[in-house]
Chain A
């Protein structure tokens, strides 16, 4: 558990860098976390982030397969936008909890 300062705002994050409180998220925070991951956020990134936040707020569990079927990106693009571990990275940047899916 730690508190991070982003642009003068304090946000709480856990050991793995996920926001403890999803409501504290702002686009500025997203840009900050993305910078740490080495990603420059484009419109498409933000579109995906909105999609993930919406689903997460609705209590839906997220999976790689769902993102691929979202209509915003296909899975290959998802890996390109968030290289390495796309669902985990995108969730971190979107300020939502760590995904629990096995798929």
Chain B
């Protein structure tokens, strides 16, 4: 079966607007995957996604254990909310998730951003979000190329064969 594509993907922009562990990793895997395929990759972190590029928070991300309808216990039963509220449970579950990812060779956030930028990927922070959360450039990781507005973001999206992905 011939899978040659007449309109190959040339550039992809990935927006990350949520701060939970699984949300941020979804956007990182997508970005690194694109860079690995030789696709021009740009990431845009906004709102709670800023946690992924804030030095103090990027390696301490959590999964929600309260009100997370998809979370289940090992064994398959649904994770009871009252359990999720107890002190230490959220941190514990997050550590377990990270261990699982490490087994699959998925790196921690800062190493992941190293890989993405080594492949030519660019990382941007949203100006609106940094203003709102009072985050300064010094608080952000060195991987961040610039803090930009939504208009500048759309300018980066110009060109044929470009796709924007919102995670």
| Chain B residues with CB below 8 A from A65, complex form | 105, 107, 111, 115
Question: Is there a chain A Cβ closer than 8 Å to B160's Cβ?
Answer: no
Q: A16 to B4: give the CA distance in the assembly, Å.
A: 9
Report yes or no: B119 in contact with A75, Cβ–Cβ below 8 A: yes
Q: A78 to B114: give the CA distance in the assembly, Å.
A: 13
| Identity of the chain B residue whose Cβ is nearest the Cβ of A74 in the assembled complex | B118
Q: How many residues of B contact A (CB 8 A)?
A: 19
| Chain A residues with CB below 8 A from B111, complex form | 65
Report yes or no: B3 in contact with A79, Cβ–Cβ below 8 A: no
| Identity of the chain B residue whose Cβ is nearest the Cβ of A79 in the assembled complex | B119
Report yes or no: B1 in contact with A15, Cβ–Cβ below 8 A: yes
Report yes or no: A15 in contact with B3, Cβ–Cβ below 8 A: yes
Chain A proximity of B26: nearest CB distance (Å): 11
Report yes or no: B105 in contact with A75, Cβ–Cβ below 8 A: no
Report yes or no: A103 in contact with B2, Cβ–Cβ below 8 A: no
Question: Is there a chain B Cβ closer than 8 Å to A38's Cβ?
Answer: no
